[in-house]
Amino acid sequence: EPEVTQTPSHQVTQMGQEVILRCVPISNHLYFYWYRQILGQKVEFLVSFYNNEISEKSEIFDDQFSVERPDGSNFTLKIRSTKLEDSAMYFCASSDPTAPNTEAFFGQGTRLTVV
């Protein structure tokens, strides 16, 4: 079964450093998403991406965040200058634009720890 893959599974970074989280969405999907989940809290939407541009973003997704599709397979989330409160699980997801009212597929997540 096709799946969304995320790397790394766990990343530790120092406060103030830049971090890039990587995702490989399902190959024929064209909608891509990032979510985060702070420990013990609910899963929160960050941003969606389609046709090489952001289609929707939440209040969380401020100027410290950016997304990119650098090539035909990867989708990345960059945090420019990490803060302690950025520590969370980050989930990538994708969906198929030719299949309306179907589901989003989620990766297994990257656990980001900012120290």
Partner 1 sequence: DAKTTQPPSMDCAEGRAANLPCNHSTISGNEYVYWYRQIHSQGPQYIIHGLKNNETNEMASLIITEDRKSSTLILPHATLRDTAVYYCIVRGINSGGYQKVTFGIGTKLQVIP
The contact set with partner 1 (CB under 8 A) reads 4, 30-31, 33, 35, 37, 42-45, 48, 50, 55-56, 89, 91, 93, 95-109, 111
Report yes or no: 38 and 87 within 8 Å, Cβ to Cβ: yes
Q: Minimum distance between the CB of residue 43 and partner 1, rounded to whole angstroms?
A: 4
Task: Please say which residue, 65 or 105, places its beta carbon nearer to partner 1.
Answer: 105
DSSP H or E run through 91: strand 88-95
Residue 14 or 59: the one with the smaller Cβ distance to partner 1 is 59
CB of 106 to partner 1, least distance (A): 4
Tokens matching residue 23: 């995702």
Q: How far is the CB of 55 from partner 1 (least distance, A)?
A: 7
> For residues 47 and 61, is the Cβ–Cβ distance under 8 A?
yes
- Nearer to partner 1 by C-beta: 28 or 81? 28
CA 3 from chain centre, in angstroms, equals: 15
